[in-house]
Structure 1
């Protein structure tokens, strides 16, 4: 919708500019055509008596002498008929009017081409504004004579002023419309790209902060957990989750404090959650070839000792998921000494309570078996010496032929099976976990049956 409005306004501006240019061009063409018509009409009319040049002074002198009246004034009609007014043409260089039969221009002094009689009207009507400008420019370049600019009549001056006013009005209206349109586009862009998103973000952050300080403890824990998540889904429409998380950074310490206070009160689920936060839980993102990549789920620096402490507290309150985590901690010795007996105990309890992860890990114990050291005993070991025969070594297994016999006692470790290898028992627990939708249990069963 936004780009549609911008495109429509741009098209409107282009159309208005097109109309303005068309109006200006039409006015100029109209004035030029009127000027040409006026020039043509003036060329067809004879010049007034006062504008005639080279008026003959010796007209009818022979007649006067014959009559003996030297002071007799000649008849005007007779003079006009005998010497018609010479026609004018424009100089092709400077644009001035000169007699049509002139070879050189009396203004710029340049030689003119001889024109045919039928080209007389063309020389008059073809003297366009561009031709006159060229003539003036050539007069500057060719002869150092001063160019006389013809005076403009009042009528022409009035017409020119009207044209300029119309052009100015069109340009002013176009400029005003352009400014209004651009202002509308800028205001629309600022409102939808800057103001409205910022208002939505501020409203979402204000609601989150209110929930963080809510009297409802469950609501506080829910909001605190989201603030500590690296990629939280806040669920606000038209507001970017990453921008909300960025705005909530100053409240992370307060969110962690809320969760710890509730954990100290004895809430097992919150204690388990706090352990997940401190252990540095990582979530699966993508796989490239045989390598899987995981990213931190929470923004708190890992502290495994605190994580094991809170999981153990949750297990004391019989929170089922905590048994699996404690069993793995004792199995691998994470922040606690490795202890297979406690690991089996925690995993078995979690599996019997129905935790799918504990069932998977307890089944793995039956697949591999668990054998631990139960003690040691002394064994006698005999070592026989060797006799040399040249460069070869000869070993004697008969004690009578041996040169030396060494008897020593060594310690040998004793082992016992805490969980014997039993694939059927493993599949039983995996099937229980697969029935709950555990993907790892399904993969283990598929490998077994292959």
Structure 2
């Protein structure tokens, strides 16, 4: 009898595994109706993997999953089974007020559940909420703790956030530029634009490392190629001042203008750069800026422009 029960359980597990695999295979082929057909019966049997896949399909409106059940239903089902990604996504929904009334307390609750399981995105987001004091008393020590947990797993936003905490310091801890540089570098090497810009700033100012304009320009360029406003602005400053690179007001103007269109509120330097250009050069700079703003290959086109001036 015991063998029969074990055999039955094995058979059910095997069927569930097969059904999940078939659903994933259909999903990968954009065959969402078949994926929905495979996942839904398993989800009703509390298969957390099927529930997680239904969550994402419902959230993205794939396979008419939204018409069947709201995403939050599946998120909750899987989260209650300790599915860390579901707990995290549920936290995001409560934080943003998606399909539910915005509730920071619930967001923290689910972020913490996932964070305690070692889920890096949840650890980072929990740190952010402690940093901003959203639904909980502001606590920089807790911010650093949770950022560190995620950063040590290679989570680039957490590494960048940790770098900024060490750069600025707080009421009960002093800045540590060496630590700031180290964490920025780890995130920058993963291609994280904000960290690349911050690393360029560290090299430019000589914080936690010897001042090195060549390295500052290198990292500002890496970040600027991703359209990061601060990097575009900082690189424009270096061109306008001739720091580590030949002074070039035309390039500076273009970069200042791109920075502004990407969210930078510092426009006054663009206007100063424009006074250094002839009317013909200004028109050409504006033409190039427009071309870059509409480029489908911004990184390559910006790189080509900057390299042509060296």
TM-score, with length taken from structure 2: 0.49
Q: Which has the higher contact order (CA 8 A, sep 6+)?
A: 1
Which has a greater percent of strand?
Answer: 1
Between structure 1 and structure 2, the one with the greater Rg is 1
As a proportion of its length, which structure holds more helix?
2
